[in-house]
Amino acid sequence: MHFDQTLLQKINNDNIAIIGREMAKYYGWQVGDKITVFLPKGGIFARGMQIQRADLTIAGFFRTGFYEFDLNLIFISLNTAQRLMKIPNQATSVIVQLNDLSNIDEYKIKLREILPENPYEYSITTIKDERGNFLAALQLEKTLMMMILGLLILAGIAGIWVTSFLLVQSKKKSIGMLRAMGLSTKSILILFVSHSLFIGFFASLFGGTLGIFTAQNLEIIIKFVEDLLNQLCLMIFHQCNTIHLIPKNIYYFDHLPVNTDLSFIVSISMVTMILSGFAGYFPAKKASQLEPVETIRND
């Protein structure tokens, strides 16, 4: 995200490093600064662990969005690492990045099958093995959000049912007059069900549009709310700790990655519309069964 192109061109020949943005903030380092790292010596050790020292020049900062990576990782080229560790043409580990983590255990088995020689001489560790609790916590939060979404949809459907019921109650006289003029019960039923579907359609359209807009601008909104809360805190108490709505040391993210799944949004909208029509069916059924003469006389 911030670098010196002249230094980056020497990354394979000189001791050039790229460090995480959070690490640079923590130590106060700048591009062009020299840092000292201590590495294990390569080869067979005669007496326990031996270390060596290497001086690296910072060529730039990277940002992955994963706080722990940005705070603790230093990148150097493979050629530089082999030269410093004195292990030419070798690598101690290989990292494979997957686009989909749902089948990570299956990929682990397939990877072991294609390894050369004895596949069990290799140690394979997945992010699920290292961060299993973290991934499980994220999945739990996703499940809870789906439950909250379902409850909100049910609350909205209940509101549509109440609206349709009150509409039938307020339009009894009009319904009676229409029935007396020859309007069929089927037409009355279609009229009120269509009214509920109309409400569900525009509610889904408005809610979906607002949700997509909010998701695409979530970081801006969160930053605005954080700044507002911090300013209010300073105005009221004159001194307070900085408020972070997404604590990095808890969630490990310095921002919220948002994936807008249009197919999921459309599916939820269709289900909402169907449930809206279903919610309006019972008041509509009651309206279609009203006796025209009795309704006009009572009202």
pLDDT, tens digit, 9 for 90 and up, residues 14-35: 899 999 998 999 999 999 999 9
Taking the C-alpha atoms of residue 193 and residue 85, their distance in angstroms, rounded to an integer, is 74
Q: Comparing C-alpha atoms, which of 74, 127, 121, 69 is closest to residue 96? A: 127
Number of other residues whose CB lies within 10 A of the CB of residue 18: 21
Cα distances from 124 to residues 75, 96, 233, in angstroms, run 22, 10, 49
The residue type of 197 is L
pLDDT average, residue stretch 281-287:
78
Taking the C-alpha atoms of residue 210 and residue 12, their distance in angstroms, rounded to an integer, is 48
Dihedral sign, Cα of residue 10, residue 11, residue 15, residue 17: positive
Dihedral sign, Cα of residue 169, residue 173, residue 179, residue 183: negative
Strands 51-62 and 34-40: antiparallel
Taking the C-alpha atoms of residue 196 and residue 283, their distance in angstroms, rounded to an integer, is 10
pLDDT tens figures, 115-173 = 888 777 888 899 888 878 878 887 888 899 889 988 988 888 888 888 878 877 777 77
Residue positions counted in the chain? 299
Cα distance between the two ends of the chain: 73
Helices (H), the chain: 5-8, 21-27, 67-72, 78-85, 104-113, 127-130, 132-170, 172-180, 185-216, 218-237, 248-251, 262-288, 292-298
pLDDT value for 49:
67
pLDDT value for 47:
62
The residue type of 95 is I
pLDDT tens figures, 179-238 = 777 778 788 788 888 888 888 888 888 888 888 888 888 888 888 888 888 888 888 887
pTM here? 0.58
Taking the C-alpha atoms of residue 119 and residue 116, their distance in angstroms, rounded to an integer, is 6
